[in-house]
Amino acid sequence: MKILITGGSGFVGSNLATLLLSKGHQVMAIGRSEPRHRLDRENYHFVAADTTCKGPWQKEVVDADAVVNLAGATIFKRWTKNYKKKIYDSRVLTTRNVVEALPSGTNLTLCSASGAGYYGSRGDDVLKEDERAGSDFLAGVSIDWEKEALLASTKGVRVAVMRFGVILGKNGGAMSKLIPAFKMFVGGPLGDGNQWFPWLHLDDLLAAIVFVLERPEVSGPLNFCAPNPIRNRQLAQTLGAVLSRPSFMPAPAFLIRLFMGEFGDLFLGSQRTVPDKLLSHGFSFQYPDIKGAIQAVVGE
């Protein structure tokens, strides 16, 4: 297949491109900047473009057999009014432009990212894909993001919406923030540590994307998270144990909100998501438990 990836220079996009190439696919990656590790491969092509704007890059969509839409500014940054607009536009406008460029009446597949933030902070509720959306900022972004992606179905496109948990992998994602803190003996739970933490190892995320691409019967919203969600306290304890570092330095909720503002609620919210649809379609996780996932990342 010829597969187009928006957000192709990012942490997930660049790793996905490498996996798809290894499986014999052609990859067209689109991103705002050149990948840090340029892929010099026969079946790989990169286009630098701002996908929030219409432009020549949209012509690449027409020739694709599948599109994996991963574009979006990082949420791991203080949310000023201007930056919240960037978070929103980078996701919603990009998806709108991708869908606009999709041809009608083809067998094309669109796998479009979203987030577990779709559900809002829900305490101990078990969150399957049919649960209602939340009402906070990230939930609002996710609602509009998914709405734009699902409009592609009016063109006959198969649409899968991937609600990502926190991605754990080497040289990027959440672990690049957490590991240094624990190595400096300042790691611990955030707030009271009781909030649920939706997570997924990078290898399982990439495998799940390939799984969806290869199975025409899979569509609609999908929770991209491990089958065994954990509380934030358990994450801290497990990471401390694997790194042989203490995990008793909690960050009080009021300090998180004081220094991070609204962005701090990202770490204090609770989403007990489960990958009900992936499991029902027969997807098998390589890293279903947090200890094995963290050991794999640290061991790498």
Segment 9-37, tens digit of pLDDT: 899 999 999 999 999 999 999 998 766 65
Across 97-101, 115-119, 123-127, 165-169, least confident range: 165-169
Percent of the chain with pLDDT over 90: 69
Strand partners, 197: 230
Residue 60 above 90 pLDDT? yes
Question: What CATH number did the domain enclosing 165 receive?
Answer: 3.40.50.720
Q: What is the pLDDT of residues 197-229, one digit of tens each?
A: 999 999 999 999 999 999 999 999 999 999 999
**187 assigned to some structural domain:** no
Structural domain count of the chain? 1
**247 assigned to some structural domain:** no
Taking Cα atoms as reference points, which of 126, 74, 293 lies closest to residue 204?
Answer: 293
Residue 239 above 60 pLDDT? yes
pLDDT band at residue 174, thresholds of 50, 70 and 90? Answer: low
Residue 175 above 70 pLDDT? no
Tell me the CA distances in angstroms from 9 to 46, 188, 207, one per residue in order: 9, 31, 19
User: Residue 288 has what pLDDT?
Assistant: 97
pLDDT band at residue 186, thresholds of 50, 70 and 90? Answer: low
Across 8-17, 265-274, 281-290, least confident range: 265-274
Strand blocks (E) in the chain: 2-6, 26-31, 44-48, 66-69, 109-115, 126-127, 158-164, 166-169, 172-173, 196-197, 199-201, 220-224, 230-231, 272-273
What are the helix and strand counts (H, E) for the chain? 11, 14
User: Residue 247 has what pLDDT?
Assistant: 63
Report which DSSP code applies to 132: P
Cβ–Cβ under 8 Å, residues 20 and 27:
yes
Distance between the two ends of the chain, CA-based, in angstroms? 30
User: Residue 170 has what pLDDT?
Assistant: 83
**128 assigned to some structural domain:** yes
**79 assigned to some structural domain:** yes
**177 assigned to some structural domain:** no
Residue 169 above 60 pLDDT? yes
**143 assigned to some structural domain:** yes
As a whole number of angstroms, the distance between CA 141 and CA 158 comes to: 22
Residue 300 above 60 pLDDT? no
- 109: tokens are 């597949």
Residue 126 above 90 pLDDT? yes
**193 assigned to some structural domain:** no
Percent of the chain with pLDDT over 70: 86
Cα–Cα–Cα angle for 92, 273, 179, rounded to 5 degrees: 85
User: Residue 192 has what pLDDT?
Assistant: 84
Taking Cα atoms as reference points, which of 27, 25, 29 lies closest to residue 1?
Answer: 25
User: Residue 117 has what pLDDT?
Assistant: 95
Q: Which residues, other chains included, contact 293 with Cβ-Cβ below 8 Å and sequence gap of 6+?
A: 168, 199, 201, 226, 287
As a whole number of angstroms, the distance between CA 237 and CA 246 comes to: 8
As a whole number of angstroms, the distance between CA 45 and CA 217 comes to: 29
Cβ–Cβ under 8 Å, residues 142 and 115:
yes
User: Residue 40 has what pLDDT?
Assistant: 75
**257 assigned to some structural domain:** no
Burial tier of 105 (Cβ tally within 10 Å: 0-12, 13-18, 19+): exposed
Indicate the average pLDDT of the chain: 89
User: Residue 81 has what pLDDT?
Assistant: 93
Instruction: Report how far Cα 210 is from the mean position of its chain's Cα atoms.
Output: 15
User: Residue 151 has what pLDDT?
Assistant: 98
pTM to 2 decimals? 0.92
Question: Whole domain around residue 222: which residue ranges?
Answer: 2-169+199-227+273-286
Residue ranges in 112-264 assigned as alpha helix (H)? 137-150, 175-183, 202-214, 232-243, 253-260
How many other CB atoms are found less than 10 A from the CB of residue 215? Answer: 15
User: Residue 181 has what pLDDT?
Assistant: 61
